[in-house]
Structure 1
Amino acid sequence: MDSLRKRLPAPRQDILAKESRSSPSITAAFEPSRISELARDSPPWYKVASRRRLYALLFPGAIVSYMTSGYDGSMMNSLQTVSYWDDFFGNPRGSTLGLVSAIIALGAMCSAPLAPWVADHYGRRWGITVGSCIMIAGAIIQCESTTFAMFVVSRFILGFGLTFCTTASPSLVSELSHPKERVAVTAICNTCWFLGAIVAAWLTYGTRVIPSTWSWRIPSLLQMLPSMIQLSAIWFLPESPRWLISHDRGEEAMAALKRYHGDGEETELVKLEYEEICAAIHMEKASGNTTWKSMVSTKGNRYRMFIVVCMGTFSQWSGNGLISYYLARILETIGINDSATKSLINGIINIWNFLIAISSALLVERIGRRPLFRISTIGMLVTFTSWTIASAVYAETAAHGAAMAVLVLIFLFQFFYCIAFSPLPVAYSVEILPYSVRAKGMATYVFTTKVAVFVNQYVNPIGLANIQWKYYIVYVVILAIESFIAYGWFVETKGRALEEIAVLFDGEEAEVITAAKSEVEIAQVEDLDRASLKKA
């Protein structure tokens, strides 16, 4: 404000000084911590009817998008223990088994350029709707498959639709959630991976005893369940206020903010949110930072994309892919061959994962991002190294104790993985991306994730079949690199509103925040000046 006064004629300085004394909210409106302070003082969501309705709609409408990925991983894991599936498709192993699992990632990669275009031009809700419809079609074809090729094509279609949902859903969740719960609610998105995995694991555990191909066709058909849930709820949600403002529909955006963030009233928090979103989007449009090229055109955006790519890669190349898709093969390497036992372990480990992930999601804002990433990567490195050693001992001695040690270490490894890389990759990626490139950035995250998944799923069964426990050494090296990067390069975003995180990447002179302050301050001064002239 002081720097602005110096640039104004004397009469305007007096008006601004007078207004600043009488209305501190003018200067407070764009203080980086103001929205966060107001959000912290807000009552918890369960005491506010409007926020209870919001989250009751957000969960089925958007958050369950990630159930499909978890369902798929767990289903494919379990189907490997179902003799009717194994025999029907010619006992796929090695690269053939890798192709069946990995093709869904290839489908997701192919739709990555289209998904942000739909989300940006037609809205987050249409992105979710398009993706859900495609996945329902894919699940029906998967259930009706009569050949191996048909089964593979159906899984490609499922993946193609998945990117639309996982690009639009976290953006809608983050942009609609109240600032007080934004981090926790967005973090819960990715933990739904395990919710889908639990459903698939126990469903397949029950259907495995059906003496026909329906033992695998039923789980295949029900993969469309999350998509059906989304279609039934998504159009009861409002569109993202940020998307509405960017398309000159400010009244609708204000109505949505008032209804869900102000409990029907235009509170100070609602006003500040609206003003900050308007200013940020206006300046992003004016700067032209809305293209694919703009994602790497500035130092701050390059740093953001580095982290987004790390999130997508680390979430899949930490050794967790072995457990998610090939647990049955891993258990065979330590002498557990009974299909019922393997299915039971798969069901239990997914419940364990979900409980750890959801607990961590609720504590993210209290603990912080960097501590969780550091504890997670170092913990995974230690436990995976121990797991590798125990596997080597079992391979040499066939000792029962070594086998049990591997099983325990798998659960410990999943604990360290789930405290950070279940809740945070999506939530962290969404919050560090400014609105102008948020959909494109999330599409990049999905694309990176699916590239990692594709390579992972295709290579893992080959590695396990050919060199068994020695293949784990690859992940020990990768985890050492992850620990180094997470310790030194991941930025803490704790305690900041969505539009305010730009300062951490672009510095105190962040284009959006600085320009937004100046524009709004000047506009307020001009309004005051016009009012004083009228009185004169």
Structure 2
Amino acid sequence: MSSRASGVHKNPGPQTYNLLKEFRESVRFLEEGNRLLIFTMGKLPGFSNVYLISGLTTIGGLIQGFDVSSMSAIIGTDQYKEYFNKPNAVLQGGITASMAGGSLLGSLVSSWTSDRFGRRDSLFIACIIWLIGSTLMCAVQNVPMLIVSRVINGFSVGMLTSQGPILIAEISLPHQRGRLLSLQQWMITWGIMIMYFISYGASFMENNGVFRLPWGIQMLPAILLLFCLPMMPRSPRWLAAHDRWEEAVEVLARLHAKNDTLDPIVVAQTNEIREKIEAEKKYASTSWMELFTSRNIVRVHCGIFTHIWSQLSGTNALMYYIVYIFQMAGLTGNNTLISASIQYIINVVMTLPALIFIDKLPRRQLFIFGALTMAVFQFMQAGLMASYGHYVPGGLPGSPTVTWKVTNPKASKALIACSYLFIAAYAPTWGPLGWAYPPEIIPLYIRSKAVSLSTFFNWGCNFALTFFTPPGFQNIQWKLYCIFGTFCLVAALHAFLLFQETCGRSLEEIDDIFDNQSIWAFKVKKEPSRFVADIEQAREDLDAGKVDVKQVEST
């Protein structure tokens, strides 16, 4: 470019050189893909509060929650059944599962967009896709169009749920990371509850607004996130991995030190990130196969199974079809919808303890306790249904999927109570930890791919369960609870054997635990986090004059 310009002007002035330089830099950014969306993002007033940024990032969780319950209160309405020609159990399973099918694809594609364009810009793309899918849902004409629109929405949710937790993990400090990542699950629970009540209110309408109104309202969170993203920072670890150290240090200082690049916390984080990136350079490959090398296979499989067990516990499958479950408990009409809403409220309230205590309690103990408690309530529900229920040939009137009914009033109340207690056990344990744990344990150079893969399995299990749960209730009834309970027991054993403790440690420190300690989690001795010591060392170096602005920003 410069040689061509010099052929036109033999003695170009400084202004010309500056213009050429600026243009060349813009082209370079385009080629590298580092500035995909808005070139003036850095000029906008930016957010610096980590809690605010994390809360906005977890709007993706709110969107996911909207989808979970956008079908729950609608599938039982006469308007929905008539408009879509009374879908049978298999077709309804396909309609509901189509969102998870799209999420499968979105979670995988997000690894490429995240590595190339950054975590923040991946969220921007996902919001645009969500608005497209939601617009189609509002204008839906038939079942094929409904499925296509839900696949598009699912693609967006797959991207949001993969990259949102990564961004939060990479901007937070060790003592706050678990709490901030738990916001993802809390926002999911809020989304489920809010959309359920919106759908419940719309169910009293006498036209197609029963489903069009809720599906239109679900666009609002994406619009909010779309406008806030330009004011949010990029991940400092992504910037560092792309050799943009000056920007990385500025982001760390902006988030944790009121723009003081010489704050000990900023210096300590910068040193840890630099050392880890330098160490990871010897692993030349960042391909998908790197996830399955001996160095990474244990942590990748732990990330994957965190999501698998979270789904196979049966929580989301039962959330989607809570109306069917309470119909089996003998409830009818509005009593079914009102009782279902209580479960969603419990989900919101019981996720709060995780926000308060998750950075104080060991992750492994929460995993094990949660899985064992959920298993107890799943088996109790199976026992109650088997002992006090009976088969209903052809299903209940208007609900052919529900072929089992509990007629004993006390047993019915106990069944509903166990359903509530199961959610109360899931909400502060596997719910938030399912999103917090995978981004913590994966090294930076493969983080987006590995977290995307674990989220892929999350949505794969979600797809399978939402598709097969209606036929499961129709054909094996209470035995489905036994299957879910068994999965919970296996999850507890798996967590005891292989899930390493991450509470209170930096991402780089967690990486060293998997590299240098035993594969068996119960054999690893707990040692004090070295991050505090790193901060003290940075403070001593600063006092001794060993660190200055130039050194920090050029590392």
1:338-349 matches, cutoff 5 A: 338=333, 340-349=334-343
Instruction: Report deviation, 1:354.
Output: 1.2
Secondary structure of the structure 2 residue equivalent to 1:181: helix
In the superposition, the TM-score normalised over structure 1's length comes to 0.83
Distance 1:124 1:51, change over 3 A: closer
Give the letter aligned to residue 159 of structure 2: F
Distance 2:384 2:517 in 1: 50
Aligned residues of 2:104 and 2:459 also touching (Cα < 8 A): yes
> Do 1:73 and 1:325's aligned partners in 2 also have CA atoms closer than 8 Å?
yes
Bigger proportion of residues as helix? 1
1:56 aligns with 2:58: no
TM-score (ref. length: structure 2)? 0.80
8 A contact 2:62–2:221 mirrored in 1: yes
Q: Please state how far the C-alpha of 1:173 moved relative to its aligned partner.
A: 0.9
The 1-side partners of 2:518 and 2:489 are apart by: 35
Equivalent in 442, 450, 456 of residue 447 of structure 1: 456
Letter in 2 for 1:399: N
Alignment of 1:21-36 (within 5 A): none
Q: 2:479 & 2:332 partners in 1: Cα distance?
A: 20
The aligned residue for residue 380 of structure 2 is: 386
Task: Tell me the percent identity.
Answer: 26
The correspondence for 1:372, drawn from 359, 362, 366, is: 366
How far 1:293 moved relative to its partner? 1.1
> Following the alignment from structure 1 to structure 2, what is the Cα–Cα distance between the partners of residues 94 and 135?
27
Alignment of 1:133-144 (within 5 A): 133-144=128-139
| Structure 1 Cα separation of the partners of residues 503 and 172 of structure 2 | 16
- Extract unaligned runs of 5+ from structure 1: 1-49, 529-536
Q: Are positions 1:402 and 2:398 aligned together?
A: no
Residue from 141, 160, 164 that aligns with 1:169 = 164
Which one of 467, 471, 474 corresponds to residue 476 of structure 2?
Answer: 467
Q: Verify the 8 A CA contact 1:107 1:158 in the aligned structure 2.
A: yes
Q: 2:91 aligns with which of 92, 96, 113?
A: 96
- In the other structure, the counterpart of 1:229 is 224
1:194 to 186, 189, 196: 189
The 1:420/1:255 distance shift into structure 2, 3 A limit, reads: same
Q: Does 1:323 align with 2:304?
A: no
3-state SS of paired residue (2:436): helix
What are the superposed Cα offsets for residues 315-343 of structure 1, whole Å, 9 maximum, x if unpaired?
Answer: 111021332111111111111121x2222
**Partner Cα distance (2:69, 2:430) in 1:** 18
CA separation in 2, counterparts of 1:414 and 1:459? 21
| Distance in 2, Cα, partners of 1:416 & 1:379 | 6
Aligned counterparts of 2:74 and 2:281: Cα–Cα separation in 1: 49
- Corresponding residue number in structure 1 for 2:350: 356
Preserved contact between residue 57 and residue 234 of structure 1 (Cα < 8 Å): no
User: Per-residue deviation at 1:470?
Assistant: 2.6
Which of 423, 429, 433 aligns to 1:424? It is 433
Matches of 1:191 and 1:78, distance apart in 2: 21
- Partners of 2:366 and 2:184 lie apart in 1 by 17
Alignment partners' CA distance in 1, 2:241 and 2:92:
45
Shift of 1:52: 7.1
Partner of 2:42: none
Cα separation, partners in 2 of 1:433 and 1:296, compared to 1, 3 Å? same
Instruction: Report the alpha carbon displacement of residue 68 of structure 1 after superposing the two structures with TM.
Output: 1.7
Corresponding position: 1:307 with 2:307? no
Deviations 1:11-63 (A, max 9, x none): xxxxxxxxxxxxxxxxxxxxxxxxxxxxxxxxxxxxxxx99733223312x11
User: Which residue number corresponds to residue 433 of structure 1?
Assistant: 442
Question: Following superposition, which runs of at least 4 residues in structure 1 exceed 4 angstroms of deviation?
Answer: none
CA deviation after TM superposition for structure 1 residue 489, in Å: 2.0
* CA RMSD across the alignment: 2.3
Residue 143 of structure 1 deviates from its aligned partner by 1.0
Which amino acid in 2 is paired with 1:404? K
**Residues 107, 202 of structure 1: alpha-carbon distance in 2 compared, 3 angstrom cutoff:** same
The answer to whether the 8 A contact 2:317-2:462 is kept is no
Deviation digits for residues 358-392 of structure 1 (CA, Å, limit 9, x no counterpart): 22232111111011111101101111111111111
Residue among 280, 292, 296 paired with 1:296: 292
**Structure 1 position 153 matched with structure 2 position 162:** no
Match of 1:496 in 2: 505
Q: For residues 324 and 263 of structure 2, what CA distance do their matches in structure 1 show?
A: 57
Q: Distance in 1 between matches of 2:487 and 2:285?
A: 34
Q: Give the deviation of 1:113 after TM superposition.
A: 3.0
| Corresponding letter in the other structure for 1:123 | G
- 1:16 match: none
Q: Which amino acid aligns with 1:134?
A: I
Are residues 90 and 303 of structure 1, via their aligned partners in 2, closer, same or farther at CA, if it must alter by over 3 Å? Answer: same
1:28 equivalent in structure 2: none
- Cα distance in 2 for partners of 1:233, 1:498 equals 26
CA distance 1:179–1:261, shift in 2 (3 Å): farther
Contact 1:312 1:445 in 2 (8 A): yes
Which 10-residue stretch deviates more, 342-351 or 248-257? 342-351
1:456-508 CA-partner distances (Å, limit 9, x unpaired): 01110001012322332222222222222122222111221111101221116
Check conservation: 1:242, 1:253, Cα contact below 8 A. Answer: yes
The reply to whether residue 272 of structure 1 matches residue 268 of structure 2 is yes
Question: 1:83, CA displacement in angstroms?
Answer: 1.7
Q: CA deviation at 1:256?
A: 1.0
Q: What displacement does 1:175 show? A: 0.9
Whole-angstrom CA distance in 1 between matches of 2:47 and 2:258: 8
